[in-house]
Each structure stands twice: as structure tokens, then as C-alpha cells.
Structure 1
């Protein structure tokens, strides 16, 4: 059984290049979800009472991840979202790791176009790039498809097609308290204002929008918006390397 080699990972919160991601799906119940069933259910009752708009949909939560020579490998299981919510509160990294992919949209005039999450979501009001957890729809031949996940999430949340953008950065990643963020930069031919107008039009016709608005970020000031923890680090890297 694969075990995480956390002591051999790059330094926490340091961005490193990624050559390949091989996250294989195990067709079995996640040991963490089994062992913590009672606590997961109790925590879900609390979360749902506070926010009845939440859905306990299936997602992918890795059991173990190794990082070596730029290759991220792991084994992941399908779990209910409620299992992740408890894990996020307690962070037992020996039982599970969270890994997700983040497309960083850069406009033709050099801004990062991010989104502010809706108040009904599990990250209300927080600002980051349009993205979402891996779910069963992102499985291809038993392996997680990060590119497909990013394209789907961006289309669902913003109406933009990553196929219309140019990517030159390859994958990079960072990890923080058991969360691995794998990101790639996508350059669009349109200005930030044009992209924000397109996203606003998409939100206006979306019957269940996940985001409140799109916004242009032009510097890495960590206090500019209520970011999720990974965003200031990624913004600093993007503005230093990719504009």
C-alpha cells in the first residue's frame, strides 16, 4: 500500500516545477471515510445547518501522495464532500491529502483574472482563481485528469474556454498543511476588462452561479483581497515569471 513521503516533499509553501501528475483512483472505500464515519456525519450536520446550500456530492480525496524528482504520484478514493469538510478542519495528513488543480488566467494586459466565491459556497467571499475539487467526472482510464478538471471548472464558473488560451508555464505546485495546489498559467488574448465582462454575462444567465464576480489582480499584495492561503504565493510567482 502506498504511503505519503511527506518528509521528502519540497519545502512547505515553496513553489516547485511538476513534470507529471499520476493520481490513480482506487475502487474501494477511503479508510479515512470509514474510520471517521460518525464524526463526518456529525460535522456535516453542523455544516449543513450553517449553510443549507451545501451539497454532499462525491469528490476525490487522495489517501497517499508521493513527490519525487518533479513527479507527483498518488492513490485517491471517491468520498462524499462531507468527508473532506471534516478533513479540512482537522488535517490528518497521515490519513489523507487534498490535491486540486488551479488554472491561473492571465489577461493580455498582464492581470490575473480571479473570482470571488458566492456566499452560499463552502468558501464564501474568498478570492482565488476559478477551480474546484477533482470529482468522478474527472477520471480517465482510472487516472485523474487535471487538465479536464480545470477546463470544466473554468467553463462552469466563468463561461471561458481554456482551449482559447495559450499555456507556456507547464505545471507547478506548492503544498501547505496537507493541501497540494497544482497550477498552470493560461494567457488569454483579451484584456482583463473584456474577460470580466464576459464572466459577468455568464453569471447573469447561470441559474445557480457559484461566484459573485470576477476581478482583475495586478499585484501580489496579500492584503488586497480575502485570499485563500495559496493565492498570494502563486500571485507572487506569476507576477515574477509570467507577465
Structure 2
């Protein structure tokens, strides 16, 4: 199989600043849904058998990504979580790619705050920044609302309000294996312990998408069970911060 896209970004996850982005969503089915519908359905039955808590909701899956002069352009379609789960086991399959927002939460004492996913989720036990794929709520006038997605996902998973954090507005990109993370740093005037305590109270009030949060003070890859997308970002942040 060949790479889904050749875009003007490093392909090893190295983080680079971008000048802007356009994340379009077109009408019609994603090419994967047209070509592999039977295989996707069969795979979904296997996934549901292993984890009945999974929900097959709408997900924006990109068809193509390009970068020119620092500007990201992506074209996506509304697909399904079942298609995404099938595709992510075949990330180099031509014709698909995945763009997602990655809000980087920083504490006043130098830590990054990530979450550990609960056992009933598709990424059980993995540690990464509170984030999620674009869905119908994120589509405004035919485009994905990156910043709105970041605010929504952080609020739903941790109870934190990114409006309470400072950001310089810069957007960074990390690309590897047909997956593109778009990053923005949000700095809270709270220590790591204070942020973790807020998240623990939120979880304790009945929100169960995550089972905890962690404070990260260095890029040691073995410190937690990191999602692979985290590692180049940690190296970049702690080298530059």
C-alpha cells in the first residue's frame, strides 16, 4: 500500500508552525465508505463484540491533505466511527487521512496535562491530550471549526474551559502515517496539581470518558502509555519551552 498523501510537511511527526488552515467538508460519501463498506461493517461487528460500549457516531474523515507555503488545506467527508476504526489499522491505505485538533494544556509550573482514557473507550488506557475527531457539531458553513472542537473536547473530557487559559493563537502541525494533529498551546494560571484536582472532581461528578489525568514534566517516552502522536510533541515542547 502507498501513502495516502504527499504533503509539504515532515512525515516523522516533527512539529512545525503553520500559517493557517482550511478544513473543508464536502457532500457525499467518503471513498472508503463506497469501496470498503462490507469490510468496514464486518470489522465493526468484531469491535463491538470486544467492546459493546462503542458507539458508531459520525466522524469527519479526510480524503486529502496538502500544505503549501505553510497553509494546510484538507478535504473531508462525514463518515463514521466504524470507518475510522477500520481505517486506523490501515493508515497508509491510499485515499484517506485524518486531521484532528490537539489542545496542549500547560500549567503555571511547567507541566503539560494529558488524560488517560477509560476502559470502555476505543483507546483504553492510552495517555494523550484531551481531544477527539471532528463530528457534526464541529462543521460550520462546510468547514471544520478547529478551535471550537478543541474547546468542546476539553470541556467534555475534563471540565476545563480553555477560555480561562492564555494562548498566543499560533497553530502547529505534527504529521505522521496519514494523521495530522493541529496544535495550539493553552496556558493556565494554575499549577499542575490544581488542574489535576479540578479534573478529578469533574470525573467524580459522573463523567467517565477518562479515568484520570497526568502531569508531564519531561519527554520521557516510557513515563506513561502514550498514544504515539504524543511523543514528537513532547520532545518538541520540552526542547523549546
- TM-score interval w.r.t. the shorter chain? over 0.9
Tell me how far apart the structure 2 counterparts of residues 192 and 121 of structure 1 sit (CA, whole Å): 25
Q: Give the secondary-structure state (helix, strand or coil) at the position aligned to 1:103.
A: strand
1:237 aligned onto 2:230: no
Which residues of 2 match residues 59-138 of structure 1 at below 5 A?
Answer: 59-138=59-138
1:102 touches 1:131 (CA, 8 Å); kept in 2?
yes
Superposition deviation, residue 19 in structure 1: 1.2
Which residue in the other structure is 2:184 paired with? 184
Which residues of 2 match residues 1-243 of structure 1 at below 5 A?
Answer: 6=6, 8-168=8-168, 170-206=170-206, 208-242=207-241
Unaligned runs of 5+ in 2: none
Superposition deviation, residue 11 in structure 1: 3.7
With normalisation by structure 1, the TM-score equals: 0.94
Range with greater deviation from structure 2 (48-57 or 164-173): 164-173
1:5 touches 1:67 (CA, 8 Å); kept in 2?
no
Coordinate RMSD, CA, aligned: 1.3
Superposition deviation, residue 233 in structure 1: 1.1
1:117 touches 1:123 (CA, 8 Å); kept in 2?
yes
Superposition deviation, residue 216 in structure 1: 0.7
Q: Give the secondary-structure state (helix, strand or coil) at the position aligned to 1:79.
A: strand
> Stretches of 4+ moved more than 4 A in 1?
none
Paired residues, number: 238
Q: Give the secondary-structure state (helix, strand or coil) at the position aligned to 2:239.
A: helix
Q: Give the secondary-structure state (helix, strand or coil) at the position aligned to 1:64.
A: strand
Q: Give the secondary-structure state (helix, strand or coil) at the position aligned to 1:122.
A: coil
Tell me how far apart the structure 2 counterparts of residues 9 and 238 of structure 1 sit (CA, whole Å): 18
Tell me how far apart the structure 2 counterparts of residues 215 and 141 of structure 1 sit (CA, whole Å): 36
With normalisation by structure 2, the TM-score equals: 0.95
Tell me how far apart the structure 2 counterparts of residues 102 and 7 of structure 1 sit (CA, whole Å): 19
